[in-house]
Structure 1
Amino acid sequence: MNAPHPGALPRRKLPIGLQSFVKLREEDHYYVDKTGLLIDLIASGSYYFLSRPRRFGKSLLLDTFKALFEGERSLFDGLVAETRWDWTRRHPVIRIDLGSGVLQSRAELDQRVHEILLDVQRDLGLPDPVGYDSVTGQFAELIRLAHAKFGATVVVLIDEYDKPILDNITDRETATAMRDGLRNLYSVLKGADAHLKFVFITGVSKFSKVSLFSGLNNLKDITLDARYSALCGYTDADVDTVFAPELPGLDREEIRRWYNGYNWLGTSVYNPFDLLLLFDTREFKPYWFETGTPTFLVNMLTSRHWFTPDLTRTVATETLLSAFDVDMIESEALLFQAGYLTIDSVWAIPGRKEFTLKYPNKEVQASLNDSLLRVLTGGARYSEPQVSRLYRLLQAQDVAGLRGLFHAFYASIPHDWYRTNDIAKYEGYDASVFYSHFAALGLDIRVEDTTNHGRIDMAVEFDSAVWVFEFKVVELVPAGQALQQIKDRGYADKYLGRSGPVHLVGVEFSRDSRNIVGFET
């Protein structure tokens, strides 16, 4: 039987413990219990913010909070919360979900929020609001009335808090209007503290507090709190225990390479969406990536002349990764918050943290570079056949074939594309195209790999072989220098203890001819 959409629930009306109640087949039910972490959060604070990429179970997290505070004890049988939660206390819950539909104006946003609040008001058995022209007034009154009716402070859960802005991010005027409308809505929380028990806000991006949560100084951001790195997602331990019945017939290491690796300073996790579909179809595919092709992201990277090899070694401060607003979208922040890069390592001194970022896994590396190639070269009809051929040539260790492949590839890029695009004019364009071919295959690539004599431009490990590449532009240095530099500096020495061959390749580009003019091996 085919799996339901991840998050679809058989028999029970709520998921338990965050992505915990999943069903792959009629007879199989799996529990990944995160309820202990939720209770820890509730015990240690009242106002929280969490940023995670799409399809990571943020909505299910809020559903679980809602079930706890509403006292749905039967849903937590056998889970940590069953014995740790005080089921005698109940609180009214206001859940605001801005994830459905695409809103294209401030008026549409206000109308949608009004409808959500009206639904909540009726669900709580409260009278329809009277005399409020603004959604902020309606929201404040709803919190006050809920507290008064139930004699208990109110829980507010906000899902996809940023989606109305992100849906319009390429239209600055509309995005700004959406931001201002949401800021007005969230400002209600600042003045309602006496009526509130718990507030949890989730979304993909991390807008600055000044732009969206001005004055809400007690909002605690747990996005990079190591204790909650695995709050959303499955860990290796979850896969090996909870999902053990699904593993036979699948390469366990390949599962890890394809889907693990998302990290927020603690335990690395898998995206649940990927794993559930893998276990159902038994086929490795970019399930998460295909649910939302990052057109805006790819266009932004190419328009900013991003050197694609830098994606594997991006360095950013904690402040930079949080610098996201309508008027200031840093590439590193967008890549990190959207899930296309994740934390590899941290350098810290008092008051300052610096992160080295990387692709989380093979799915993201291959899919993102495949998308970048289409923009860098004028379309999939030119890039995709070359990527497949590259794989076969590497398998055969066909050095001559590689030279012919890349020469033909650059020659196939239409002249009109060069004429109408400035992408190809930036320094590093040729090397970016070269690199992204290999990255689109999900290969083990090291960029500027350090040796005791210097840095290799690019090293690729595939099967038993290692390929060491050095790039030069002939208009800048004399011909023949690329391969000679590999030899002179002993770039291959670190790989000579391996059993397989080490191929040294000097690649020389010409800006004038727009092609490879040297490919010495």
Structure 2
Amino acid sequence: HFTWPSPDIYNPYSLMNAFSEGELNAYWFGSGTPTYLIEMLRKFHVMPQQIGGRKVRRENFDAPVERMTNVTPLLYQSGYLTIKDYIPFAQLYTLDIPNQEVRLGLMNNLMQNYVPDTEPVGTLLGLMAEQLHTENMDGALRLLQTFLSTVPYTDNTDYEGHYQQVLYIIFSLLGYYVDVEVHTPRGRVDVVMRTAHTLYIIEVKLDKSADEAMEQIDLKNYPERFALCGLPIVKVGINFDSGRHTIEDWTIEG
């Protein structure tokens, strides 16, 4: 969308390729390499979950990118964000990621910030998708544990937020609704992930224990915040090991 309200405009490049190939695919995102975008996201310290859902005034996104003081103008003018809503009396626009193709492409490219070699990620996602399709979170975490233990060491892995973001990107790439730092009356849930049949409340710890993570979920009664979601709630406590840079242990309660 270029104004509000306006009809949806579908990218002609993607449409032509879809008709030609006879299937939907990531044609638009595959037509360019978003290296500059990734660099700007790093420069302005934008986390993956902070890209979409921005409420801003027009001057904050319809501005020259050469003089931008945040990444919003670049995201909007390059098509990674579009206008989803407008509040006239406040003159506030809601900008969000246009569709699943752009979302998955972005997450796939952001993965390189957390995993230096992204080639094996596709195999991991396929195997994890099989496990989560049957709500087997234990099997999915076992796969992730093995995968992370093979990833080369990077300097930015020694804090909980790193692993929180890894979970966010992986669950997003699997096509699930996922959010981080979700506010509740008694605190913030590290990760909330929803499949078609289950809502997962995930607490992340580093160099502690999965039991401590589960104790925090229970002590702060995080499930209460989601009691009306209409889905069974499963609690997951995950502890990462900063020395081995992978999952140390986890516990799951349904």
Question: Paired residue for 1:334?
Answer: 74
1:486 and 2:217 correspond? yes
Matched, 1:434 2:162: no
C-alpha separation in 2, matches of 1:305 and 1:330: 9
Q: Give the residue type in structure 2 aligned to 1:359.
A: I
Q: What is the match of residue 32 of structure 2?
A: 292
Q: Which residue of 2 aligns with 1:396?
A: 134
Structure 1: how far apart are the matches of 2:56 and 2:87? 10
Is the contact made by 2:197 and 2:231 (CA closer than 8 Å) also made in structure 1?
yes
Residues of 2 paired with 1:323 and 1:376: CA distance? 31
Deviations 1:123-161 (A, max 9, x none): xxxxxxxxxxxxxxxxxxxxxxxxxxxxxxxxxxxxxxx
User: How far has the Cα of 1:356 moved from its partner?
Assistant: 4.3
Q: Note if 1:406 corresponds to 2:133.
A: no
CA distance in 2, matches of 1:446, 1:288: 25
- Give yes or no for the alignment of 1:319 onto 2:97: no
The CA distance in 2 between the partners of 1:484 and 1:285, in whole Å, is 43
Aligned residue number for residue 502 of structure 1:
233
Residue in 1 that maps onto 2:190: 457
User: CA offsets, 1:442-472, max 9 Å, x none?
Assistant: 2222344455555433322223222222223
Q: Deviations over 1:410-434 (max 9, x none)?
A: 211113xx2xxx5546772221122
Closer, same or farther: CA 329–399 of 1 in aligned 2, 3 Å? same
Could you tell me whether the CA contact under 8 Å between 1:312 and 1:447 is conserved in 2?
no
CA distance in 2, matches of 1:314, 1:423: 26
CA distance in 2 between counterparts of 1:300 and 1:444 reads 25
Equivalence for 1:128: none
Change (3 A) 1:383 1:469: same
Distance, in Å, in 2 between the alignment partners of 1:346 and 1:354 is 6
Residues 117 and 151, structure 2, Cα contact 8 Å, conserved in 1: no
The offset of 1:368, in angstroms, is 0.9
Give yes or no for contact 2:41–2:71 (8 Å, CA) kept in 1: yes
Residue 374 of structure 1 deviates from its aligned partner by: 3.0
Q: In the TM superposition, what whole-angstrom CA distance separates every residue of 1:368-427 from its partner, at most 9, and x where no partner exists?
A: 101111342112223222122221111122222122122222211113xx2xxx554677
Identity %: 27
1:376 aligns with 2:114: yes
SS across alignment from 1:480: helix
| 1:294-332 deviation per Cα after TM superposition (whole angstroms, max 9, x unaligned) | 122123324554322223444544333234343546222
Distance 2:107 2:220 in 1: 30
For residues 212 and 57 of structure 2, what CA distance do their matches in structure 1 show?
Answer: 36
Q: Tell me, what secondary structure is at the counterpart of 2:237?
A: strand
Deviation at 1:435, TM superposition (A): 0.9
Residue identity matched to 2:246: N
> How far apart, in 2, do the equivalents of 1:491 and 1:311 lie?
25
1:66 aligned partner: none
8 Å contact kept, 2:239–2:250:
yes
- Contact kept in structure 2, 1:368 and 1:440, CA below 8 Å: no
The aligned counterpart of 2:11 is: 271
Unaligned runs of 5+ in 2: none
Query: Contact conserved, 1:307 with 1:429, CA < 8 A, in 2?
Result: no
Query: What's 2:4 paired with?
Result: 226
Assess if the C-alpha contact under 8 Å between 1:453 and 1:491 holds in 2: yes
> Aligned partners of 1:482 and 1:317: how far apart in 2?
39
Which has the larger Rg? 1
Partner of 2:103: 365
Unaligned runs of 5+ in 1: 1-51, 53-222, 236-268
> Which residue of structure 1 aligns with residue 250 of structure 2?
519
Paired residues of 1:305 and 1:423 also in contact (CA < 8 A): no
In 2, Cα distance between equivalents of 1:355 and 1:483: 39
Q: Is the 8 A contact 1:382 1:412 kept in 2?
A: no
TM-fit CA distance, 1:437: 0.7
Give the distance between the partners of 2:124 and 2:48, measured in 1 at CA: 18
Change in CA separation of 1:327 and 1:512 when aligned onto 2, cut-off 3 Å: farther
**How far apart, in 1, do the equivalents of 2:75 and 2:46 lie?**
12
Q: How many residues align?
A: 252
Q: 1:427 to 1:329 in 2, by over 3 A?
A: farther
TM-score by length of 1: 0.43
Matches within 5 A, 1:48-87: none
Partner letter of residue 296 of structure 1?
Y
The residue identity in structure 1 corresponding to 2:236 is V
Change over 3 Å in CA distance of 1:423–1:300 after alignment to 2? farther
1:374·1:383 contact (CA, 8 Å) conserved in 2?
no
Deviations 1:197-218 (A, max 9, x none): xxxxxxxxxxxxxxxxxxxxxx
CA displacement at 1:506 relative to structure 2: 1.9
2:168 and 2:180 in contact (8 A); partners too:
no
Counterpart CA distance in 2 for 1:437 and 1:334 is 24
Change (3 A) 1:454 1:424: closer
